[in-house]
């Protein structure tokens, strides 16, 4: 209730003070999450000012909606969201208050990353009342570099439509990024090749795309369903299947309950691995490539250390 009240006040402030058009010559690009923002910066280069709404240490499903987000969205030329209901819990009311037709669904200024991605784990039947937050399939597709390629091309296409005079620059930036990604993917695949079939555990169901691309297997998640806190009964099941599968690594994000992971780790001889998937959550990971280098490197080190 408190949050809705704040949003109403902020909507009034936006209407009173915001300019109707972006005064800057550069495109004002807003991304819901830092990973999409980092990618937009590479593709947009000097022609864009990019802001992320979520902090790198915030759960993308449950971002704290602030009045300042409404102002940011009201002034945006382009909005990039993950889609597939990743931001269902917080973005729709912000967009409603921001009243910006440039970033409405279907406008050239709206890029929904999931639109071009083949989704994993699309449920055949779904009961939202149980609290599962992956109603349209798994929205954590940025962890597969081949999806990042697709989304980068999608961004270059939309930036070119919104700002046609810089289209050649956006396409050149995409080509350069794409070539680097091809080379890095070979390097990352080589690094994880010795661990094909390794069985990992994650807190949330956020690693299936990475696991599939690099030949790892997610055997359990500490959450019984995406978005539902671990229960004692579920933890007991996780512990027994981790023992059976000889799974020795539990991956956690900065916004997840590390104590729960540590409890399970103590009973299974596993290591808890902090492996943030948003650029900037820890030092020296502010670009997509730095972040992936860190993630792949940490995974390889952790898996090497486990029998």
The binding site for Zn ion (CB under 5 A) comprises 226
Give min distance, CB of 256 to Zn ion, in A.
Answer: 11
Reading the block at residue 81, the tokens are: 């969201």
Q: Which of 7, 86 has the CB closer to Zn ion? A: 86
Give min distance, CB of 206 to Zn ion, in A.
Answer: 5
Give min distance, CB of 19 to Zn ion, in A.
Answer: 36
Q: Which of 145, 226 has the CB closer to Zn ion? A: 226
Give min distance, CB of 61 to Zn ion, in A.
Answer: 5
Give min distance, CB of 253 to Zn ion, in A.
Answer: 10
Q: Which of 59, 77 has the CB closer to Zn ion? A: 59
Give min distance, CB of 204 to Zn ion, in A.
Answer: 5
Residue nearest to Zn ion (CB): 226
Give min distance, CB of 131 to Zn ion, in A.
Answer: 12
Q: Which of 226, 279 has the CB closer to Zn ion? A: 226
The torsion angle over the Cα atoms of residues 34, 39, 44 and 45, rounded to 10 degrees, is 90
Provide DSSP, the chain: -HHHHHHHHHHHHHHHH--SS--SSSEEEEESSHHHHHHHHHHHGGGEEEEESS-TTS-TTS----HHHHHHHHT-SEEEE--TTTTTTTHHHHHHHH--GGGSTTSTTEEEGGGGSPPSS--SS--GGGT-S-BTB---GGGSHHHHHHHHHHHHHHHHHHSGGGHHHHHHHHHHHHHHHHHHHHHHHHHHGGGTT-EEEESSS--HHHHHHHT-EEEEESSSSTTS---HHHHHHHHHHHHHHT--EEEE-TTS-HHHHHHHHHHHT-EEEE---STTSSTT--SHHHHHHHHHHHHHHHHHH--
Q: Which of 224, 226 has the CB closer to Zn ion? A: 226
Give min distance, CB of 180 to Zn ion, in A.
Answer: 28
User: What is the Cα 158 distance to its own chain's centre?
Assistant: 20
Residue 306 Ramachandran class (φ > 0 left, ψ -120 to 50 alpha, else beta): beta
Q: Which of 163, 220 has the CB closer to Zn ion? A: 220
Q: Which of 10, 86 has the CB closer to Zn ion? A: 86
């Amino acid at each position: 209730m408190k949050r809705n009240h704040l949003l109403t006040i902020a909507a009034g402030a936006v209407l009173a003070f915001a300019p109707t058009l972006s005064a800057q010559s550069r495109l004002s690009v807003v991304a819901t999450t830092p990973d999409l923002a980092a990618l937009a910066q590479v593709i947009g280069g000097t022609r864009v000012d990019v802001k992320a709404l979520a902090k790198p240490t915030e759960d993308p499903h449950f971002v704290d909606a602030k009045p300042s987000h409404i102002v940011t969205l009201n002034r945006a030329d382009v909005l990039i969201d993950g889609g597939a209901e990743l931001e269902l819990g917080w973005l729709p009311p912000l967009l409603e208050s921001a009243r910006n037709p440039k970033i409405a669904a279907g406008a050239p200024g709206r890029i929904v990353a999931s639109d071009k991605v083949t989704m994993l784990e699309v449920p055949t039947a779904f009961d939202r009342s149980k609290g599962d937050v992956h109603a349209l399939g798994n929205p954590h597709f940025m962890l597969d570099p081949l999806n990042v390629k697709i989304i980068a091309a999608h961004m270059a296409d939309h930036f070119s439509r919104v700002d046609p005079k810089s289209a050649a620059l956006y396409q050149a930036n995409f080509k350069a990024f794409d070539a680097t990604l091809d080379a890095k993917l070979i390097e990352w695949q080589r690094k994880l090749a010795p661990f094909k079939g390794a069985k990992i555990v994650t807190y949330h169901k956020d690693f299936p795309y990475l696991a599939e691309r690099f030949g790892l297997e997610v055997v359990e998640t500490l959450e019984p369903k995406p978005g539902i806190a671990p229960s004692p009964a579920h933890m007991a099941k996780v512990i027994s299947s981790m023992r059976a599968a000889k799974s020795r690594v539990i991956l956690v994000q900065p916004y997840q309950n590390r104590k729960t992971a540590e409890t399970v780790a103590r009973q299974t001889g596993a290591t808890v691995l902090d492996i943030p998937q948003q650029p900037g959550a820890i030092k020296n990971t502010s670009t997509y490539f730095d972040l992936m280098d860190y993630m792949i490197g940490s995974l390889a080190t952790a898996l090497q250390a486990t029998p």
